[in-house]
Amino acid sequence: MPQRGAVRIVTWAIWLVVFLVLVGFVAKNVEPATLRFYFDLNLEAPLIEILFAAFVVGSLFGIVALLPRLLRQRREMARLRRESRERSAPPAPPLSGL
């Protein structure tokens, strides 16, 4: 079991390094950037906010794309559990006195 604690420490160390790299990335990208859309629409915001928004939108698209498969798998798992319970149910005891 001591190995489990070591794995946890290494995992936290990796997350700390990733966090520090991201904080450094944010600190270096605070300059304003302009997004130009159609019909002469412009959006000026710090570059990191634009990148974060793009990340969030991409993540949401990914979640929405995975939902049908996830729901189908959940329905299939419920059906298989139900079938398994029916198959492994003990037989009914014989009726006595008839």
Residue 77: HSE in the Cβ half-sphere, 13 Å Cα cutoff: 6
Residue 32 near residue 47 (C-beta atoms within 8 A)? yes
Residue 34 near residue 44 (C-beta atoms within 8 A)? yes
pLDDT band for position 76 (50/70/90)? very high
Domain boundaries, the chain: 2-86
Using the structure block, give the residue that is written with the tokens 């600190």: 27
Residue 46 near residue 29 (C-beta atoms within 8 A)? yes
Reported as a single tens digit per residue, the pLDDT across 55-69 is 999 999 999 999 999
Instruction: Answer positive or negative: Cα dihedral of 84, 85, 88, 91.
Output: negative
